[in-house]
A and B are shown apart, each in its own frame.
Chain A
Amino acid sequence: MNDVVKPLTDTAHLLLQELAKEQPDLFSCSGTLQEQLEKKLSSSAEEESKIFSEHTKWYPKESLKHLIADVVSGPAHDSEHVKLLRQIFPTFTALEMSDPRVLASLNCFHIADYVKIRWGSSNIATSTEKDKQTRFIKSHYLGRSKESNTIARLWWLYEFALRSSKYSKYDCDTLLEKMAHNVNFYHQILRRSYLMASDRVRAAVLDVAIASGLADANKTSEVTKVMRLLNRKAGGISLDVLSDEELRRHIKESLPPKEGAAPSPQP
């Protein structure tokens, strides 16, 4: 549909959110969605009457069709898609990939079929209730959270691995593999925006999680417990000023005790 990826204008982004509330079913076909959005734009009082901004543009090396062609329902191909996305958009920056107008443009008009299939088997995606459909759209197409927004999720997984590799004992590929193959683990990493914002702290968490088997265990409840404990520690001490050794010790103390091990004293 659009060969050149451009972010949405502010007005188009706003109207798209209105459409998500009024007619969430439109999002199942990007062509129809664009038509409806154009209609809405032309009848709006805003002076800005374009869907896409002229301000910035990127030229994908390969078509996003490669990504769409390989999509399956669920996280099985996340690892490959993360790498593929980086090949398609090697120069995207954190600034761009945190811009909801860029994310919405990609999800709604460039990889809409990917979004539909990737999340296709979830209850919310197949719901006929309008409220649930709207929630689905807001979460996977229009939201900006790193763990739910479809394109952001893929891009930020690689970004987290890349940034962490500067402080980790593992290289970027290993970190990426360990995260991308364990959806319940990486989901918790992506959603802890404050705790995981420090590259050094994130690298230490990944190192300890990989070495202890927490990443491969891939259990939401276990990872959540560790994150909560670590979050509580971060409330009382500045993790950022700790040495690498101290930092890793604090993270290890947050891990669940191994079966058969004596309970460790409370710090």
Chain B
Amino acid sequence: MRFAPDRGFLYPVLGQREYNYPGKKFSVDVECRVEDNSLILTANFDLDVESISSLIDDGSARCILWVYCGATSYRQIFCSDSTKPRTVDGKLSIQNVRDQLEIHPQITAVEELCLHYHEANRAFGGGPVKLRSGNLLAVHKPSFTKVSEIEDRSTKSIFQLKKDSVIQQEGWEAQIDVQQPFIELVANEETYNNFDKLRKDDPKHAVQTLYLSALVETLYVYLKDRDPDEASEPDTSNWVDVITVKLLENNITVSDDGSARFVLKTMGQQSKSVLWVAQKLLEFPLFIQDEVGELE
């Protein structure tokens, strides 16, 4: 069911209305992150209603997370298991979601059970009530995750973060080769772990630091080493083409006077710095697509 504070039940449902279980705690911490082409969901349920807790512990009720995307007609349910009865882990392909994902946490009977609700508002009479599989014990307000900014989900970033124990000193280096599909950002274990954490915890900061710096370096290589004849049919299956397409979409081109600089087409060939171009391009995802060929 979808959370509705005004929906009527014949027994108290935790979390639906403030006065159903006065003074009782029910919170769900939902974490949602993108890893490669997947959305990883983790939800931790916290409640202090003993009668419901004991039903979770004996397996007759379960913590549940169901996710819904209206645009792509996707609804999927993820349940806790007996090893971690108050945690729900879920993984779904990002291909299944457009614009927004609704995440609904709830506690549901998964078999016939008897609910005693002496901890609920006295007005309900204390129970017990017999509930069937599918009946709700607790519902939490949904969270909404916007995924519209992720433009293309069949893709990987042009940057690949790699661990390399050979690198001793702190920091990282970008291995940029126009013949290669990806740009490898190579770091020793400690730096790699720091970057990986930054990428997950604060992706915006990661873009402003690591990726901006890497893209500036990349654009210098692009200006110097790319083959301009190949740009006529970019297929976005390698980083050079991804950059070419993104430049085109932003009306940026490489000056044709041989001076290896970027110019803005709409501003009378106004010259633009590499840093400006990098900042502009990072407003969009720089992803490599699976190659698309003519269908047989």
Residues of chain A touching chain B, judged by Cβ–Cβ distance below 8 Å, are: 9, 47-50, 53-61, 90-91, 93-95, 98-99, 144, 146, 156, 159-160, 193-194, 196-198, 201, 234-243, 246
Residues of chain B touching chain A, judged by Cβ–Cβ distance below 8 Å, are: 1-2, 4, 7, 9, 62, 64, 66, 68-77, 79, 95-98, 106, 108, 110, 132-136, 151-154, 234, 236, 245, 248-251, 266, 289, 292-296
B69: chain A residues within 8 A (beta carbon): 197
Closest B residue to A156 by beta carbon equals B73
Known contacts A99-B98, A241-B108; decide if A54 and B249 are in contact (CB<8 Å). Answer: yes
Known contacts A198-B75, A240-B66; decide if A91 and B152 are in contact (CB<8 Å). Answer: no
Q: B66, A94: Cβ atoms under 8 Å?
A: no
Q: A241, B134: Cβ atoms under 8 Å?
A: yes
Docked pose: A57 CA to B241 CA in angstroms: 14
Q: A236, B75: Cβ atoms under 8 Å?
A: no
Closest Cβ–Cβ distance, residue B111 to chain A (whole Å): 10
The listed residue (A57, A59, A193, A242) touching B73 by CB distance below 8 A is A193
Closest Cβ–Cβ distance, residue A161 to chain B (whole Å): 12
B289: chain A residues within 8 A (beta carbon): 56
Docked pose: A61 CA to B289 CA in angstroms: 20
Closest Cβ–Cβ distance, residue B36 to chain A (whole Å): 16
Q: A239, B4: Cβ atoms under 8 Å?
A: no
Q: Can you name 22 A-B residue pairings with CB atoms under 8 Å?
A: A9-B249, A47-B251, A54-B245, A54-B248, A54-B249, A94-B74, A95-B153, A99-B98, A197-B68, A197-B75, A198-B75, A234-B1, A235-B1, A236-B1, A236-B9, A237-B1, A237-B134, A238-B1, A238-B108, A238-B134, A240-B77, A241-B108
B66: chain A residues within 8 A (beta carbon): 238, 240
The listed residue (A53, A59, A95, A239) touching B134 by CB distance below 8 A is A239
The listed residue (B4, B70, B266, B296) touching A197 by CB distance below 8 A is B70
A198: chain B residues within 8 A (beta carbon): 75-76
The listed residue (B74, B76, B134) touching A242 by CB distance below 8 A is B134
Q: A238, B98: Cβ atoms under 8 Å?
A: no
A160: chain B residues within 8 A (beta carbon): 73
B245: chain A residues within 8 A (beta carbon): 54-55
Docked pose: A234 CA to B133 CA in angstroms: 13
Docked pose: A49 CA to B251 CA in angstroms: 9
Docked pose: A251 CA to B70 CA in angstroms: 22
Q: A194, B2: Cβ atoms under 8 Å?
A: yes
A98: chain B residues within 8 A (beta carbon): 71-72, 98
Docked pose: A193 CA to B77 CA in angstroms: 16
B250: chain A residues within 8 A (beta carbon): 47
B152: chain A residues within 8 A (beta carbon): 55-56
B296: chain A residues within 8 A (beta carbon): 61
Closest Cβ–Cβ distance, residue B124 to chain A (whole Å): 16
Name the residue in B9, B66, B248, B295 with the highest tally of chain A Cβ atoms < 10 Å from its Cβ. B295
Closest B residue to A144 by beta carbon equals B71
Closest B residue to A235 by beta carbon equals B1
Q: A94, B72: Cβ atoms under 8 Å?
A: yes
B4: chain A residues within 8 A (beta carbon): 235
Known contacts A56-B152, A242-B133, A246-B134; decide if A235 and B251 are in contact (CB<8 Å). Answer: no
Docked pose: A241 CA to B108 CA in angstroms: 8
A-B pairs, top 5 by smallest CB distance, nearest first, are A197-B75, A237-B134, A98-B71, A198-B75, A240-B77
Q: B64, A58: Cβ atoms under 8 Å?
A: no
Docked pose: A243 CA to B111 CA in angstroms: 10
A48: chain B residues within 8 A (beta carbon): 249, 251
The listed residue (A144, A201, A235) touching B7 by CB distance below 8 A is A235
Name the residue in A55, A61, A198 with the highest tally of chain B Cβ atoms < 10 Å from its Cβ. A55
Q: B70, A236: Cβ atoms under 8 Å?
A: no
B251: chain A residues within 8 A (beta carbon): 47-49
